[in-house]
Amino acid sequence: MTSSNIPQLVDHLFRHEAGKLVSVLTKVFGTHNLDLAEDVVQDSLVEAMSQWQFKGIPHDPSAWLFRVAKNKALNILNRENYKRKYVSAVSHLLKSDLTAEPALNYLFSEQEIQDDQLRMIFTCCHPSISPDSQIALALKTLCGFSIPEISRAFLTTEENINRRLKRARQSIRNAGIPFEIPRGKELDSRLNTVLETIYLLFNEGYSASKGDTIIRYELCEEAIRLAQIVAADKTIRRKENVEALLALMFLNASRFKARQDSEGNLLTMAEQDRSLWDAQMRGIGLFHLTAASKNDSISVYYILAAISAHYSIAPDYESTDWNSILSLYDSLITLDNSPVIYLNRAVAISKVNGTKKALMELEKIKDDPALNKYYLFFSTQAEFFLQEDDYGSASVSFEKAIQLAPLPSLKKLLKKKLSLCRQKGRVG
């Protein structure tokens, strides 16, 4: 790997390792010093960028990053003004120069880091923090999301996300939120926010909001890994929602290799080569879906996973069971009546009842503020108009979708569709 690839490598490390480092450092310094933990991680990444340019990339970049972060933490602990401000299970060992380094080695062990990530997830989702700020904080500190990425995930402004993060950190300090996994009823309520955060992370990878790549596989892998950490924890007894989310992510991920053509353009389900679908991942997804249904627990994730399963098991696009999918969407809107769910339901309606009916459904949600800047609403609307041979309306919707599309590759694909639409309009 050359020096020109260093920014890409550091970004990769940030995605995969920053959440781990912030978690263990939060255990070292205490939740009231969350900013300090984030600063240490950021300083370590900056040092990586600087040193690797001149000294070359180390054999094990991750191990190098962890070692630098640990050394920086040790230096901070050796300063008198921090010696009585950190909180951890081994705080008495951290107070001594002789035992601090061995204690940090223990805290940086693989099992401890995994446990601390779980604690970090639940800390971010504490009820003292407002729900929207909970998810924003988890995406920022644990998942390595940038402010623009979080704002796009929430369909809101960067300024609003910054305010949410500021409020969240302030709430942690004011409430003295402990770095621990809750128990009893509190665990159940906070688990919902944890799963929502993981699902947002997966969605950002499934349809990226920045960069040159539509699919960001590493984000999807990280979301699945975090969900597996939650599923493995023995203190969580009812795991139907966790199983359902794992089913949804594995089933969607099983189609990754077929979602783009050789030029990186996104392919619709009808255009995909199904021989490229990953049968092993599909099998894992179906296994988790079965596990999620054991106690007759129906959740948003379960219904979405069931919809994805219908797509995945159909031998070809024409064999897709659209009636069952529409029925599932009808059940889903009783649990989640968000405009994006209505948008996806409109696609199923177009297959069962025709595009005229689907366009009528889009009319009901077109004024929703959350869809004003959502390119998929306008691209879906354009496709419906196109099927109705309304090339003028289709062109207008395609133009709006192009304007709002977050990636150059998406804009390119939509421009191609717009060109074909205009050609058909002239012929017609």
CA 134, 140, 143, 147 dihedral sign is positive
Q: Average of pLDDT values for 203-223?
A: 71
Q: What is the pTM of this model?
A: 0.78
Q: How far apart are CA 47 and CA 4, in angstroms?
A: 16
Q: pLDDT band at 407, cuts 50/70/90? A: confident
- What pLDDT sits at residue 90? 55
The pLDDT assigned to 2 comes to 55
Residue labelled with tokens 């070692």: 67
> Please, which pLDDT band fits residue 226 given cuts at 50, 70 and 90?
confident
Number of other residues whose CB lies within 10 A of the CB of residue 390: 18
pLDDT digits 0-9 by tens, 58-71: 888 888 888 888 88
Most confident of 50-59, 71-80, 95-104: 50-59
Percent of the chain exceeding pLDDT 90 equals: 39
* Calpha distance 182→196 (Å, rounded): 17
Q: Is the pLDDT of residue 89 over 60?
A: no
- pLDDT tops 60 at residue 126: yes
Among 76-85, 108-117, 131-140, 250-259, name the one with the lowest average pLDDT.
76-85
Q: How confident is the model at residue 398 (pLDDT cuts 50, 70, 90)?
A: very high
Average pLDDT of the chain is 85
- pLDDT category of residue 181 using cuts at 50, 70 and 90: confident
